[in-house]
Structure 1
Amino acid sequence: MKHLLTLGLLAASFSSMAHEGHSHKINPEALQKAPFVDADYVTGQGKFTYKVDLAWGETPNGKPALGATHGGVAIDKVGNVYVSTQTGDGIIKFCGDGHVIKTFGKPTMMSHNLALKEENGKEFIYAAFNNHQKVCKIDLDGNIIWTIQGPPAHKAYQGEKVRYKPTAVDVAPDGRIYVADGYATNLINVYSPDRKYIRSFGGVGRKEGGKFVTNHGLTIDTRGEKPLIIVVDRENRKLQRLTLDGEYVDTPTTDLRRPCAVSIMGEYTAVAELSGRCVILDKDFKVISILGDNPDPKQHHNYGVKAKDWKPSIFTAPHGCAFDKDHNLYVQDWNSTGRLRKFVLQK
């Protein structure tokens, strides 16, 4: 009897170990097996027509779900995919086929955006942490290189009730660091390459160029003769362009649906829009493809949409996006259980 009991305990132990090591897909099995037709997996128009790959991606450590997502996506030059989560896993690093390489852990928990830059042949991630009042430079193994903690010495951050919630960070070719304070002052704070505060510009405004209502995203666009800042002006529903010194240039795109983030690849720009869709813009910033347009306004910018109510190619609250080199698109929805999908460009 003792021998049988020992065998039983060993079997249970091995069963538990196998369960812990078992990987779950990011998109739940029930969703993958639901009775959808082919058209439910396809979205977009023209040369930017996509098919969603629900089989791409697995959860870390055998977890049943990815965990809450309110952040960004970035892709390195070899095709690894980096995704923010609100969990103790922090930033998750996937290889191109969707398997988890590693999790960066609690020090990278709750990163609100991810910008990936190459410097002297080596790539780094820049991340803003709105709830932790900091921005960080992180290597591709998850080591934090440096941190800018707290707001700069600007009058907007003086007084007893200082509000500072950075939502995006990016770095210019000359090394200057740009931080969008999108959930507080709507300022863009600028630092030297050695992280010394230089100046701030922007602030709140609805009609004036260079003013914002939730400057949620910020990306340095290096495609022109001179680099420009693309500011994702969420509650004004538009993109604005500024010089690196903060001078207003133009508003190339309007009438968006609460844009959160952009990704640039070649001539094209993808925009994640919190109110249930993504769009692709051409070199003139005109909409040429609309992806995943959600017909149910109750699901727009809704953090609580359950997996049972998801549709394969339909968005609920796109928050972060990234093109790969082939213009496949990875999109993260703002979602309480975590939602991330790969959209494969159809050729």
Structure 2
Amino acid sequence: MKSTALLLLLPSLALAHPDHGTKPGAEVETAVLTGNGAWQYEAVPHWGELPDGKNLGPTHGGVVIDEKTGLIYVSTDAPHGILVYKPDGKLKETIAPECQGFHAMAVREEKGKTVLYGAQLGGPKPLRVCKIDTNGKVLLEISQATAGEVQGGWKGLTAVTVGPKGEIFCSMGYGEQFIHKFDAEGKHIKSFGGKGNGDGQTSCSHGMALDTRFGEPRLLVCDRENRRLVHFDLEGNWIGVHATDLRRPCTISILGDACAVAELEARVTILDKNGKPAAFLGDNPDKSQWANFGVPLDQMKTGIFTAPHGLSFDKEGNLYVQDWNASGRVTKLKKR
């Protein structure tokens, strides 16, 4: 299966490299192709660049899409907080400086309005889950101060997602690997998981999403250092391993039966409903750039990733990918 997939990808990955006679990074003016089969994309040059050549600020966060407006929300570790883009890549505004350091985000419609959830790892008020409106106003905070102590402690918050009844899940992927469930008002219900590589355990429960592809909703969790995706039900019971042999999966986004995986080791993978690879996007042949926070922007090639950390499908199947990078980088992959 793997060797066949690689053979199929070789022509597409060749297209993913700009002509070697061009200068890297911002000098590329034409779209760069990547992917294969039903999952072919164009990497859009200059998408998301800020006016006057300003950096985005360190990107160690997430990307979510408001389907009602088409706006793209990109979290950063910079004092401006969250960048809000129009689909054409023009910056609309920045919001929520108080939410600087959202390591991951989720988006949901509640009572006819779009709200964002963030797992705040750094910034001025670290280690809390926040619900905010699209203007950046904090509507709910969950932290040790509001919810009390949790199993394993409030250490290393990395992920957040929301269940169908408004129940809130977060994980301590840089801590003791427990996943915590709260009700919609922020009251702690239970904790589950823990550190390891066996059933019901993770080693860096880095990202998660609500997975509705299998009937009863469940949690799909990025078990980063075990290089796999795993499923739990919404009561915290172990279901099983969904996908293996990934390159340190950080974040997932689901569209229909497909799942896009941001892999820290310089690739985005599209998985089918069975957890098998359907396409590889932006695979980087330079291993010195894999999971490298310090790659200068002028050494990054359009359509080639260094450290995918956050990503999201929009409803048309386009992908928006954030690299973990000191200067900040976000890429739009336009579905063909």
Pairwise same-fold verdict (TM > 0.5): yes
User: For the residues of structure 2 that align with 1:109 and 1:258, how far apart are their CA atoms?
Assistant: 24
SS at match of 1:293: coil
> Which letter maps to 2:333?
F
CA contact (8 A) 1:153 1:197 kept: no
Q: Residues 63 and 111 of structure 1: is their aligned pair in 2 closer, same or farther, counting only changes over 3 Å?
A: farther
1:156 match = 152
1:138 aligns with 2:132: yes
> Which letter maps to 2:45?
L
Offset at residue 155 of structure 1 (A): 4.6
SS at match of 1:184: coil
SS at match of 2:213: coil
User: For the residues of structure 1 that align with 2:176 and 2:27, how far apart are their CA atoms?
Assistant: 46
User: For the residues of structure 2 that align with 1:255 and 1:339, how far apart are their CA atoms?
Assistant: 26
Offset at residue 56 of structure 1 (A): 2.0
SS at match of 2:320: strand
Offset at residue 279 of structure 1 (A): 0.4
CA contact (8 A) 1:87 1:109 kept: yes
2:245 match = 255
CA contact (8 A) 2:107 2:114 kept: yes
2:42 match = 51
TM-score, structure 2 normalization: 0.88
Alignment match of 2:324 (pick from 331, 334, 343): 334
> Runs of 5+ in structure 2 lacking a partner?
1-22
User: For the residues of structure 2 that align with 1:278 and 1:90, how far apart are their CA atoms?
Assistant: 25
> Which letter maps to 2:142?
I
1:169 match = 160
1:228 aligns with 2:218: yes
TM-score, structure 1 normalization: 0.85
CA contact (8 A) 1:219 1:231 kept: yes
User: For the residues of structure 1 that align with 2:100 and 2:60, how far apart are their CA atoms?
Assistant: 11
1:266 aligns with 2:256: yes
> Which letter maps to 1:260?
C
Q: How many residues align?
A: 308
Deviations for 1:294-330, whole angstroms, at most 9, x for unmatched residues?
Answer: 1111110000001121111111000000001111110
**Percent of aligned pairs with the same amino acid:** 42
1:14 match = none
Alignment match of 1:88 (pick from 51, 63, 79): 79
CA contact (8 A) 1:115 1:125 kept: yes
User: For the residues of structure 1 that align with 2:107 and 2:279, how far apart are their CA atoms?
Assistant: 25
User: For the residues of structure 1 that align with 2:335 and 2:93, how far apart are their CA atoms?
Assistant: 27
SS at match of 1:212: coil
> Which letter maps to 2:263?
E
Match runs of 1:46-85 below 5 Å: 46-59=37-50, 62=52, 64-77=54-67, 78-85=69-76
Computed over aligned residues only, the root mean square deviation of the Cα atoms, in angstroms, reads: 1.7
SS at match of 2:102: coil
> Which letter maps to 2:109?
E
> Runs of 5+ in structure 1 lacking a partner?
1-28, 158-162
Alignment match of 2:112 (pick from 98, 121, 127): 121
SS at match of 1:156: coil
User: For the residues of structure 2 that align with 1:42 and 1:141, how far apart are their CA atoms?
Assistant: 35
> Which letter maps to 1:296?
D
CA contact (8 A) 1:56 1:97 kept: yes
Alignment match of 1:103 (pick from 88, 94, 99): 94
Which entry has the higher C-alpha Rg, 1 or 2? Answer: 1
Alignment match of 1:292 (pick from 269, 282, 293): 282
Offset at residue 63 of structure 1 (A): 5.3
CA contact (8 A) 2:118 2:130 kept: yes
SS at match of 1:308: helix
CA contact (8 A) 2:96 2:135 kept: no
Query: Which moved further from structure 2: 97-106 or 72-81?
Result: 97-106
1:178 match = 169
Offset at residue 108 of structure 1 (A): 1.5
